[in-house]
Structure 1
Protein backbone atom coordinates (compact mmCIF):
# COMPACT_ATOMS: atom_id res chain seq x y z
CA UNK A 1 0.00 0.00 0.00
CA UNK A 2 1.34 3.40 -0.98
CA UNK A 3 2.04 6.08 1.61
CA UNK A 4 0.27 8.65 -0.57
CA UNK A 5 -3.01 9.75 0.98
CA UNK A 6 -6.09 8.99 -1.09
CA UNK A 7 -9.32 10.99 -1.38
CA UNK A 8 -12.59 10.22 -3.10
CA UNK A 9 -14.90 13.06 -4.15
CA UNK A 10 -18.37 12.23 -5.41
CA UNK A 11 -19.83 14.39 -8.16
CA UNK A 12 -16.33 15.58 -8.94
CA UNK A 13 -16.57 16.01 -12.70
CA UNK A 14 -17.68 19.66 -12.51
CA UNK A 15 -18.39 22.67 -10.32
CA UNK A 16 -17.57 22.61 -6.63
CA UNK A 17 -16.77 18.90 -6.68
CA UNK A 18 -14.14 19.38 -9.36
CA UNK A 19 -12.55 22.24 -7.40
CA UNK A 20 -12.52 20.14 -4.23
CA UNK A 21 -10.68 17.43 -6.18
CA UNK A 22 -8.24 20.01 -7.52
CA UNK A 23 -7.67 21.47 -4.07
CA UNK A 24 -7.03 18.11 -2.44
CA UNK A 25 -4.69 17.26 -5.28
CA UNK A 26 -2.76 20.43 -4.53
CA UNK A 27 -2.44 19.18 -0.95
CA UNK A 28 -0.74 16.04 -2.26
CA UNK A 29 -3.66 13.61 -2.23
CA UNK A 30 -4.25 11.09 -4.97
CA UNK A 31 -7.84 11.89 -5.89
CA UNK A 32 -10.62 9.60 -7.08
CA UNK A 33 -13.03 11.48 -9.32
CA UNK A 34 -16.42 9.95 -8.63
CA UNK A 35 -19.02 10.57 -11.34
CA UNK A 36 -21.76 8.74 -13.22
CA UNK A 37 -21.07 9.96 -16.75
CA UNK A 38 -18.03 8.20 -18.20
CA UNK A 39 -17.02 10.90 -20.65
CA UNK A 40 -17.36 13.76 -18.19
CA UNK A 41 -15.51 11.74 -15.58
CA UNK A 42 -12.58 11.00 -17.84
CA UNK A 43 -12.51 14.58 -19.14
CA UNK A 44 -12.26 15.81 -15.55
CA UNK A 45 -9.49 13.31 -14.79
CA UNK A 46 -7.55 14.45 -17.85
CA UNK A 47 -7.96 18.12 -16.90
CA UNK A 48 -6.85 17.47 -13.33
CA UNK A 49 -3.83 15.49 -14.49
CA UNK A 50 -2.89 18.30 -16.86
CA UNK A 51 -2.93 20.60 -13.83
CA UNK A 52 -0.59 18.29 -11.94
CA UNK A 53 -3.13 16.39 -9.84
CA UNK A 54 -2.68 12.65 -9.37
CA UNK A 55 -6.27 11.80 -10.32
CA UNK A 56 -8.10 8.63 -11.30
CA UNK A 57 -11.67 7.95 -12.33
CA UNK A 58 -14.21 6.12 -10.19
CA UNK A 59 -17.48 5.15 -11.91
CA UNK A 60 -20.04 6.05 -9.27
CA UNK A 61 -23.79 6.49 -9.16
CA UNK A 62 -24.65 7.24 -5.54
CA UNK A 63 -28.24 6.06 -6.05
CA UNK A 64 -27.16 2.53 -7.01
CA UNK A 65 -26.13 -0.14 -4.50
CA UNK A 66 -24.27 -2.05 -7.20
CA UNK A 67 -22.39 1.03 -8.43
CA UNK A 68 -21.33 2.06 -4.93
CA UNK A 69 -20.22 -1.47 -4.06
CA UNK A 70 -18.16 -1.61 -7.27
CA UNK A 71 -16.62 1.79 -6.50
CA UNK A 72 -15.52 0.63 -3.06
CA UNK A 73 -14.01 -2.50 -4.59
CA UNK A 74 -12.17 -0.40 -7.17
CA UNK A 75 -10.63 1.85 -4.52
CA UNK A 76 -9.75 -1.21 -2.45
CA UNK A 77 -8.06 -2.96 -5.37
CA UNK A 78 -6.35 0.12 -6.82
CA UNK A 79 -5.30 1.97 -3.66
CA UNK A 80 -5.84 -0.29 -0.66
CA UNK A 81 -6.74 2.74 1.44
CA UNK A 82 -8.96 5.79 1.69
CA UNK A 83 -8.09 8.80 3.82
CA UNK A 84 -10.76 11.29 2.79
CA UNK A 85 -14.33 10.94 1.54
CA UNK A 86 -16.16 14.03 0.31
CA UNK A 87 -19.84 13.36 -0.30
CA UNK A 88 -20.40 16.19 -2.75
CA UNK A 89 -22.84 14.70 -5.28
CA UNK A 90 -26.28 16.23 -5.04
CA UNK A 91 -29.28 17.33 -7.06
CA UNK A 92 -31.60 20.31 -6.80
CA UNK A 93 -34.85 18.84 -8.04
CA UNK A 94 -37.01 20.32 -10.76
CA UNK A 95 -37.01 24.01 -9.78
CA UNK A 96 -35.80 26.56 -7.26
CA UNK A 97 -37.41 27.65 -5.10
CA UNK A 98 -39.21 24.32 -4.93
CA UNK A 99 -42.26 25.45 -2.95
CA UNK A 100 -43.68 22.60 -0.86
CA UNK A 101 -47.17 23.05 -2.33
CA UNK A 102 -45.75 22.24 -5.75
CA UNK A 103 -43.32 19.44 -4.97
CA UNK A 104 -44.48 16.03 -6.06
CA UNK A 105 -43.71 12.90 -4.04
CA UNK A 106 -41.66 11.61 -6.98
CA UNK A 107 -39.39 14.68 -6.97
CA UNK A 108 -39.02 14.57 -3.19
CA UNK A 109 -38.04 10.89 -3.29
CA UNK A 110 -35.51 11.54 -6.06
CA UNK A 111 -33.88 14.42 -4.18
CA UNK A 112 -33.68 12.50 -0.90
CA UNK A 113 -32.38 9.39 -2.69
CA UNK A 114 -29.38 11.33 -3.97
CA UNK A 115 -28.78 13.95 -1.28
CA UNK A 116 -29.33 11.78 1.79
CA UNK A 117 -29.60 8.07 1.06
CA UNK A 118 -26.76 8.32 -1.44
CA UNK A 119 -24.50 9.83 1.23
CA UNK A 120 -25.35 7.05 3.68
CA UNK A 121 -24.84 4.42 0.98
CA UNK A 122 -21.41 5.72 -0.05
CA UNK A 123 -20.23 6.40 3.50
CA UNK A 124 -21.09 2.92 4.74
CA UNK A 125 -19.46 1.31 1.71
CA UNK A 126 -16.25 3.29 2.21
CA UNK A 127 -16.02 3.02 6.01
CA UNK A 128 -13.98 -0.20 6.02
CA UNK A 129 -11.32 1.57 3.96
CA UNK A 130 -11.52 4.77 6.01
CA UNK A 131 -11.09 2.86 9.27
CA UNK A 132 -7.63 1.76 8.11
CA UNK A 133 -6.44 5.35 7.60
CA UNK A 134 -4.38 7.08 10.30
CA UNK A 135 -6.50 10.25 10.21
CA UNK A 136 -9.70 9.63 8.20
CA UNK A 137 -11.98 12.52 7.32
CA UNK A 138 -15.51 12.58 5.91
CA UNK A 139 -17.04 15.78 4.57
CA UNK A 140 -20.73 15.96 3.67
CA UNK A 141 -21.75 18.81 1.44
CA UNK A 142 -24.66 20.65 3.04
CA UNK A 143 -26.09 24.14 2.49
CA UNK A 144 -27.15 27.17 4.46
CA UNK A 145 -30.69 26.48 3.28
CA UNK A 146 -30.63 23.27 5.33
CA UNK A 147 -30.13 25.20 8.56
CA UNK A 148 -33.39 25.41 10.52
CA UNK A 149 -31.82 28.14 12.64
CA UNK A 150 -31.15 30.34 9.63
CA UNK A 151 -34.43 29.55 7.91
CA UNK A 152 -36.41 30.61 10.99
CA UNK A 153 -34.42 33.77 11.69
CA UNK A 154 -36.41 36.91 10.78
CA UNK A 155 -34.78 38.92 8.03
CA UNK A 156 -32.60 36.09 6.71
CA UNK A 157 -33.33 35.53 3.01
CA UNK A 158 -32.31 32.10 1.76
CA UNK A 159 -34.24 32.19 -1.49
CA UNK A 160 -37.82 31.29 -0.66
CA UNK A 161 -39.72 28.30 0.69
CA UNK A 162 -38.33 24.90 -0.25
CA UNK A 163 -40.09 21.56 -0.09
CA UNK A 164 -37.40 19.21 -1.37
CA UNK A 165 -33.83 20.51 -1.65
CA UNK A 166 -33.60 22.43 1.65
CA UNK A 167 -35.31 19.69 3.69
CA UNK A 168 -32.98 17.12 2.12
CA UNK A 169 -30.03 19.07 3.47
CA UNK A 170 -31.66 19.32 6.91
CA UNK A 171 -32.10 15.54 6.79
CA UNK A 172 -28.45 15.16 5.78
CA UNK A 173 -27.40 17.35 8.71
CA UNK A 174 -29.26 15.07 11.12
CA UNK A 175 -27.75 11.94 9.58
CA UNK A 176 -24.26 13.44 9.85
CA UNK A 177 -24.77 14.17 13.56
CA UNK A 178 -25.78 10.53 14.01
CA UNK A 179 -22.66 9.31 12.20
CA UNK A 180 -20.50 11.58 14.36
CA UNK A 181 -22.07 10.17 17.52
CA UNK A 182 -21.59 6.57 16.41
CA UNK A 183 -17.99 7.19 15.33
CA UNK A 184 -17.07 9.33 18.34
CA UNK A 185 -14.83 6.60 19.78
CA UNK A 186 -12.82 6.36 16.53
CA UNK A 187 -10.32 8.65 14.83
CA UNK A 188 -12.81 9.41 12.03
CA UNK A 189 -13.91 13.04 11.85
CA UNK A 190 -17.11 13.81 9.96
CA UNK A 191 -18.38 17.33 9.33
CA UNK A 192 -20.72 19.32 7.11
CA UNK A 193 -19.55 21.97 4.68
CA UNK A 194 -21.72 24.87 3.50
CA UNK A 195 -20.12 26.31 0.36
CA UNK A 196 -22.36 29.37 0.08
CA UNK A 197 -24.09 30.85 -2.94
CA UNK A 198 -21.74 29.55 -5.61
CA UNK A 199 -22.09 30.19 -9.34
CA UNK A 200 -22.73 26.71 -10.78
CA UNK A 201 -25.26 25.09 -13.07
CA UNK A 202 -27.37 24.53 -9.93
CA UNK A 203 -28.40 28.18 -10.10
CA UNK A 204 -27.72 28.95 -13.78
CA UNK A 205 -24.41 30.48 -12.62
CA UNK A 206 -26.19 33.23 -10.70
CA UNK A 207 -24.18 32.68 -7.52
CA UNK A 208 -21.99 35.35 -5.99
CA UNK A 209 -18.85 33.28 -5.41
CA UNK A 210 -16.74 31.00 -7.57
CA UNK A 211 -16.60 27.23 -7.42
CA UNK A 212 -13.02 27.52 -6.20
CA UNK A 213 -14.17 29.71 -3.31
CA UNK A 214 -17.06 27.36 -2.59
CA UNK A 215 -14.67 24.40 -2.38
CA UNK A 216 -12.46 25.96 0.28
CA UNK A 217 -14.45 24.91 3.36
CA UNK A 218 -14.74 21.29 2.22
CA UNK A 219 -10.99 21.17 1.60
CA UNK A 220 -10.35 22.66 5.03
CA UNK A 221 -12.57 20.07 6.73
CA UNK A 222 -11.01 17.25 4.68
CA UNK A 223 -7.56 18.20 5.94
CA UNK A 224 -8.36 18.87 9.60
CA UNK A 225 -5.63 18.29 12.18
CA UNK A 226 -6.09 15.67 14.88
CA UNK A 227 -7.51 18.26 17.30
CA UNK A 228 -10.06 19.48 14.77
CA UNK A 229 -13.83 19.30 15.30
CA UNK A 230 -16.24 16.54 14.40
CA UNK A 231 -20.01 16.58 14.08
CA UNK A 232 -20.17 20.26 13.15
CA UNK A 233 -21.43 22.41 10.29
CA UNK A 234 -19.19 25.10 8.90
CA UNK A 235 -18.82 27.69 6.17
CA UNK A 236 -15.88 29.90 5.27
CA UNK A 237 -16.68 32.26 8.18
CA UNK A 238 -17.01 29.59 10.86
CA UNK A 239 -19.79 27.61 12.52
CA UNK A 240 -23.23 27.51 10.89
CA UNK A 241 -26.23 27.20 13.21
CA UNK A 242 -28.32 24.04 13.04
Structure 2
Protein backbone atom coordinates (compact mmCIF):
# COMPACT_ATOMS: atom_id res chain seq x y z
CA UNK A 1 0.00 0.00 0.00
CA UNK A 2 1.31 3.43 -0.96
CA UNK A 3 2.43 5.85 1.77
CA UNK A 4 1.13 8.72 -0.33
CA UNK A 5 -2.02 10.56 0.67
CA UNK A 6 -4.82 9.27 -1.57
CA UNK A 7 -6.94 12.15 -2.89
CA UNK A 8 -10.03 11.66 -5.05
CA UNK A 9 -11.47 14.65 -6.87
CA UNK A 10 -14.76 14.30 -8.74
CA UNK A 11 -15.27 16.34 -11.90
CA UNK A 12 -11.51 16.78 -12.03
CA UNK A 13 -10.95 16.89 -15.78
CA UNK A 14 -11.92 20.54 -16.18
CA UNK A 15 -12.61 23.81 -14.35
CA UNK A 16 -11.93 24.11 -10.63
CA UNK A 17 -11.44 20.36 -10.33
CA UNK A 18 -8.52 20.42 -12.75
CA UNK A 19 -7.05 23.40 -10.93
CA UNK A 20 -7.06 21.38 -7.70
CA UNK A 21 -5.22 18.59 -9.51
CA UNK A 22 -2.59 21.08 -10.70
CA UNK A 23 -2.21 22.68 -7.27
CA UNK A 24 -1.74 19.33 -5.50
CA UNK A 25 0.63 18.12 -8.23
CA UNK A 26 2.86 21.17 -7.55
CA UNK A 27 2.87 20.61 -3.78
CA UNK A 28 5.94 19.57 -1.83
CA UNK A 29 3.78 16.87 -0.28
CA UNK A 30 3.32 13.49 -1.93
CA UNK A 31 -0.12 12.51 -3.21
CA UNK A 32 -1.79 9.89 -5.32
CA UNK A 33 -4.22 12.21 -7.13
CA UNK A 34 -7.21 10.38 -8.56
CA UNK A 35 -8.76 12.35 -11.41
CA UNK A 36 -12.45 11.49 -11.34
CA UNK A 37 -14.39 12.10 -14.54
CA UNK A 38 -17.47 10.82 -16.34
CA UNK A 39 -15.19 10.10 -19.32
CA UNK A 40 -11.89 8.26 -19.01
CA UNK A 41 -10.61 9.86 -22.21
CA UNK A 42 -11.26 13.32 -20.75
CA UNK A 43 -9.42 12.30 -17.57
CA UNK A 44 -6.50 11.00 -19.64
CA UNK A 45 -6.36 14.26 -21.57
CA UNK A 46 -6.43 16.25 -18.33
CA UNK A 47 -3.53 14.25 -16.90
CA UNK A 48 -1.55 14.68 -20.11
CA UNK A 49 -2.04 18.45 -19.95
CA UNK A 50 -0.91 18.58 -16.32
CA UNK A 51 2.22 16.53 -17.02
CA UNK A 52 3.02 18.74 -19.99
CA UNK A 53 2.67 21.89 -17.88
CA UNK A 54 4.58 20.54 -14.87
CA UNK A 55 7.41 18.20 -15.81
CA UNK A 56 8.24 16.95 -12.31
CA UNK A 57 6.29 16.23 -9.16
CA UNK A 58 6.44 14.23 -5.94
CA UNK A 59 2.90 13.06 -6.68
CA UNK A 60 1.32 10.60 -9.09
CA UNK A 61 -1.82 10.85 -11.18
CA UNK A 62 -4.43 8.24 -12.06
CA UNK A 63 -7.90 8.20 -13.58
CA UNK A 64 -11.26 7.04 -12.27
CA UNK A 65 -14.47 6.89 -14.23
CA UNK A 66 -17.31 8.14 -12.05
CA UNK A 67 -20.62 9.80 -12.86
CA UNK A 68 -22.21 11.01 -9.63
CA UNK A 69 -25.64 11.03 -11.28
CA UNK A 70 -25.43 7.22 -11.49
CA UNK A 71 -25.51 4.94 -8.43
CA UNK A 72 -24.02 2.09 -10.47
CA UNK A 73 -21.12 4.29 -11.57
CA UNK A 74 -20.47 5.44 -8.00
CA UNK A 75 -20.47 1.89 -6.69
CA UNK A 76 -18.12 0.69 -9.44
CA UNK A 77 -15.73 3.57 -8.70
CA UNK A 78 -15.77 2.72 -5.00
CA UNK A 79 -14.86 -0.89 -5.74
CA UNK A 80 -11.99 0.25 -7.95
CA UNK A 81 -10.53 2.62 -5.36
CA UNK A 82 -10.97 0.03 -2.62
CA UNK A 83 -9.11 -2.58 -4.67
CA UNK A 84 -6.37 -0.17 -5.72
CA UNK A 85 -5.67 1.58 -2.42
CA UNK A 86 -7.74 0.14 0.42
CA UNK A 87 -8.33 3.61 1.85
CA UNK A 88 -9.05 7.22 0.92
CA UNK A 89 -7.48 10.17 2.74
CA UNK A 90 -9.30 13.02 1.02
CA UNK A 91 -12.57 13.12 -0.91
CA UNK A 92 -13.17 16.37 -2.77
CA UNK A 93 -16.78 16.50 -3.94
CA UNK A 94 -16.14 18.94 -6.76
CA UNK A 95 -18.44 17.61 -9.50
CA UNK A 96 -21.31 20.03 -9.97
CA UNK A 97 -23.54 21.43 -12.65
CA UNK A 98 -25.73 24.40 -13.50
CA UNK A 99 -28.74 24.10 -15.79
CA UNK A 100 -30.36 27.52 -15.35
CA UNK A 101 -28.85 28.96 -18.49
CA UNK A 102 -30.14 26.02 -20.54
CA UNK A 103 -33.61 26.58 -19.08
CA UNK A 104 -33.49 30.32 -19.80
CA UNK A 105 -32.62 29.50 -23.44
CA UNK A 106 -35.57 27.11 -23.72
CA UNK A 107 -33.31 24.05 -23.98
CA UNK A 108 -34.64 22.54 -20.73
CA UNK A 109 -37.84 22.92 -18.77
CA UNK A 110 -37.65 24.67 -15.40
CA UNK A 111 -38.55 21.41 -13.67
CA UNK A 112 -35.82 19.49 -15.46
CA UNK A 113 -33.28 22.20 -14.69
CA UNK A 114 -34.12 22.17 -10.98
CA UNK A 115 -34.24 18.39 -10.72
CA UNK A 116 -30.96 18.03 -12.59
CA UNK A 117 -29.23 20.62 -10.41
CA UNK A 118 -30.31 18.93 -7.20
CA UNK A 119 -29.58 15.46 -8.54
CA UNK A 120 -25.95 16.35 -9.27
CA UNK A 121 -25.13 19.01 -6.69
CA UNK A 122 -26.86 17.49 -3.67
CA UNK A 123 -28.23 13.97 -4.18
CA UNK A 124 -25.34 12.62 -6.23
CA UNK A 125 -22.83 14.21 -3.89
CA UNK A 126 -24.55 12.62 -0.89
CA UNK A 127 -24.60 9.18 -2.52
CA UNK A 128 -20.93 9.53 -3.47
CA UNK A 129 -19.98 10.47 0.09
CA UNK A 130 -22.06 7.66 1.58
CA UNK A 131 -20.38 5.11 -0.68
CA UNK A 132 -16.83 6.28 0.05
CA UNK A 133 -17.20 6.97 3.79
CA UNK A 134 -15.84 3.52 4.78
CA UNK A 135 -12.61 4.21 2.89
CA UNK A 136 -12.24 7.62 4.54
CA UNK A 137 -12.52 5.99 7.95
CA UNK A 138 -9.46 3.87 7.14
CA UNK A 139 -7.32 7.03 6.86
CA UNK A 140 -5.31 8.38 9.80
CA UNK A 141 -6.18 11.95 8.77
CA UNK A 142 -9.38 11.89 6.72
CA UNK A 143 -10.78 15.01 5.04
CA UNK A 144 -14.05 15.59 3.25
CA UNK A 145 -14.55 18.68 1.09
CA UNK A 146 -17.75 19.87 -0.59
CA UNK A 147 -17.35 22.54 -3.27
CA UNK A 148 -20.15 25.06 -2.82
CA UNK A 149 -20.73 28.61 -4.10
CA UNK A 150 -20.44 32.15 -2.83
CA UNK A 151 -23.99 32.63 -4.04
CA UNK A 152 -25.29 30.05 -1.53
CA UNK A 153 -25.23 32.33 1.51
CA UNK A 154 -28.74 33.09 2.80
CA UNK A 155 -27.47 35.99 4.92
CA UNK A 156 -25.87 37.69 1.95
CA UNK A 157 -29.13 37.70 -0.02
CA UNK A 158 -29.95 40.81 2.06
CA UNK A 159 -26.69 42.58 1.21
CA UNK A 160 -25.94 44.99 -1.64
CA UNK A 161 -22.58 46.39 -0.53
CA UNK A 162 -20.43 44.94 -3.32
CA UNK A 163 -20.96 45.10 -7.09
CA UNK A 164 -21.45 41.34 -7.25
CA UNK A 165 -24.02 41.27 -4.44
CA UNK A 166 -25.78 44.31 -5.87
CA UNK A 167 -26.14 42.54 -9.21
CA UNK A 168 -26.98 39.15 -7.71
CA UNK A 169 -29.65 40.47 -5.32
CA UNK A 170 -31.21 43.18 -7.47
CA UNK A 171 -35.00 43.05 -7.78
CA UNK A 172 -36.61 43.40 -11.22
CA UNK A 173 -39.29 45.96 -11.99
CA UNK A 174 -42.96 45.24 -11.30
CA UNK A 175 -44.90 43.13 -13.78
CA UNK A 176 -44.89 39.65 -15.26
CA UNK A 177 -43.10 37.85 -16.80
CA UNK A 178 -39.87 38.80 -15.12
CA UNK A 179 -36.73 39.01 -17.26
CA UNK A 180 -34.35 36.09 -16.87
CA UNK A 181 -31.45 38.48 -16.26
CA UNK A 182 -27.80 38.18 -17.22
CA UNK A 183 -26.99 35.38 -14.77
CA UNK A 184 -30.01 33.14 -14.12
CA UNK A 185 -28.78 30.87 -11.36
CA UNK A 186 -31.78 30.21 -9.16
CA UNK A 187 -31.68 26.39 -9.28
CA UNK A 188 -27.89 26.34 -9.00
CA UNK A 189 -27.91 28.78 -6.09
CA UNK A 190 -30.68 26.89 -4.28
CA UNK A 191 -28.94 23.54 -4.71
CA UNK A 192 -25.66 24.88 -3.35
CA UNK A 193 -27.48 26.22 -0.29
CA UNK A 194 -28.82 22.69 0.11
CA UNK A 195 -25.28 21.38 -0.25
CA UNK A 196 -24.22 23.54 2.71
CA UNK A 197 -26.80 21.79 4.88
CA UNK A 198 -25.55 18.45 3.56
CA UNK A 199 -22.05 19.43 4.69
CA UNK A 200 -23.40 20.20 8.18
CA UNK A 201 -25.09 16.79 8.30
CA UNK A 202 -21.85 15.04 7.34
CA UNK A 203 -19.95 17.12 9.91
CA UNK A 204 -22.30 15.76 12.57
CA UNK A 205 -22.27 12.21 11.20
CA UNK A 206 -18.47 11.88 11.03
CA UNK A 207 -17.52 13.99 14.06
CA UNK A 208 -16.73 11.01 16.31
CA UNK A 209 -14.68 9.44 13.50
CA UNK A 210 -12.29 12.37 13.34
CA UNK A 211 -13.11 13.35 9.76
CA UNK A 212 -12.46 17.03 9.06
CA UNK A 213 -15.34 18.33 6.93
CA UNK A 214 -15.50 21.60 5.00
CA UNK A 215 -17.60 23.36 2.40
CA UNK A 216 -15.33 25.23 0.03
CA UNK A 217 -16.51 28.50 -1.49
CA UNK A 218 -13.71 29.23 -3.97
CA UNK A 219 -15.02 32.59 -5.17
CA UNK A 220 -16.31 33.99 -8.46
CA UNK A 221 -13.93 32.33 -10.90
CA UNK A 222 -13.86 32.12 -14.68
CA UNK A 223 -14.90 28.54 -15.40
CA UNK A 224 -17.31 27.11 -17.94
CA UNK A 225 -19.81 26.00 -15.28
CA UNK A 226 -22.53 28.55 -15.94
CA UNK A 227 -22.68 27.75 -19.65
CA UNK A 228 -21.64 31.28 -20.58
CA UNK A 229 -17.93 30.68 -21.12
CA UNK A 230 -14.87 31.76 -19.17
CA UNK A 231 -14.24 34.92 -21.21
CA UNK A 232 -17.75 36.25 -20.59
CA UNK A 233 -17.35 35.60 -16.87
CA UNK A 234 -13.99 37.39 -16.82
CA UNK A 235 -15.71 40.47 -18.22
CA UNK A 236 -18.09 40.27 -15.26
CA UNK A 237 -15.15 40.29 -12.84
CA UNK A 238 -14.44 36.57 -12.41
CA UNK A 239 -10.99 35.65 -11.17
CA UNK A 240 -8.38 33.13 -12.27
CA UNK A 241 -9.54 29.55 -11.53
CA UNK A 242 -6.05 28.61 -10.34
CA UNK A 243 -6.75 30.56 -7.14
CA UNK A 244 -9.51 28.08 -6.32
CA UNK A 245 -7.13 25.17 -6.74
CA UNK A 246 -4.52 26.73 -4.48
CA UNK A 247 -7.17 27.45 -1.85
CA UNK A 248 -8.33 23.84 -1.78
CA UNK A 249 -4.74 22.61 -1.58
CA UNK A 250 -4.34 24.77 1.53
CA UNK A 251 -7.40 23.13 3.06
CA UNK A 252 -6.12 19.63 2.21
CA UNK A 253 -2.80 20.54 3.83
CA UNK A 254 -4.37 21.68 7.09
CA UNK A 255 -4.13 25.46 6.81
CA UNK A 256 -7.83 26.01 7.61
CA UNK A 257 -8.42 23.29 10.20
CA UNK A 258 -9.72 25.86 12.68
CA UNK A 259 -12.71 26.38 10.34
CA UNK A 260 -13.82 22.77 9.89
CA UNK A 261 -17.58 22.36 9.70
CA UNK A 262 -17.97 25.79 8.10
CA UNK A 263 -18.39 27.22 4.62
CA UNK A 264 -15.03 28.83 3.99
CA UNK A 265 -13.68 31.36 1.53
CA UNK A 266 -9.98 32.00 0.91
CA UNK A 267 -9.85 34.83 3.47
CA UNK A 268 -12.90 34.30 5.69
CA UNK A 269 -15.74 32.10 6.86
CA UNK A 270 -18.74 32.58 4.58
CA UNK A 271 -21.89 33.78 6.37
CA UNK A 272 -24.70 31.25 6.52
Q: In structure 2, how many angstroms separate the alpha carbons of the residues matched to 1:104 and 1:130?
A: 37
Query: Unaligned regions of 5+ residues in structure 1, if any?
Result: none
Task: Give the alignment of 1:63-212 within 5 angstroms.
Answer: 63-95=69-101, 104-155=110-161, 156-157=165-166, 159=168, 162-202=185-225, 203-205=228-230, 206-207=233-234, 208-212=238-242
The 1:183/1:104 distance shift into structure 2, 3 A limit, reads same
Equivalent pair of 1:189/1:229 in contact (CA under 8 Å) = no
Q: In structure 1, how many angstroms separate the alpha carbons of the residues matched to 2:250 and 2:103?
A: 29
SS in 1 for 2:120: helix
Equivalent pair of 2:250/2:256 in contact (CA under 8 Å) = no
The 1:226/1:233 distance shift into structure 2, 3 A limit, reads closer
Report deviation, 1:77: 1.0
Give TM-score, length-normalised by structure 2: 0.82
**Matched residues, number:** 240
Q: In structure 2, how many angstroms separate the alpha carbons of the residues matched to 1:130 and 1:83?
A: 6
Report deviation, 1:103: 6.4
Tell whether 2:265 aligns with 1:235.
yes
SS in 2 for 1:228: helix
Aligned-residue Cα RMSD (Å) equals 2.2
Counterpart residue number, 2:180: none
CA displacement, residues 129-160 of structure 1 (integer Å, 9 cap, x when unaligned): 10010110011000111110112224433636
Give TM-score, length-normalised by structure 1: 0.91
Equivalent pair of 1:34/1:59 in contact (CA under 8 Å) = yes
Q: In structure 1, how many angstroms separate the alpha carbons of the residues matched to 2:224 and 2:257?
A: 36
Equivalent pair of 1:11/1:90 in contact (CA under 8 Å) = yes
Equivalent pair of 2:20/2:249 in contact (CA under 8 Å) = yes
Report deviation, 1:199: 0.9
Larger radius of gyration: 2
Report deviation, 1:38: 2.3
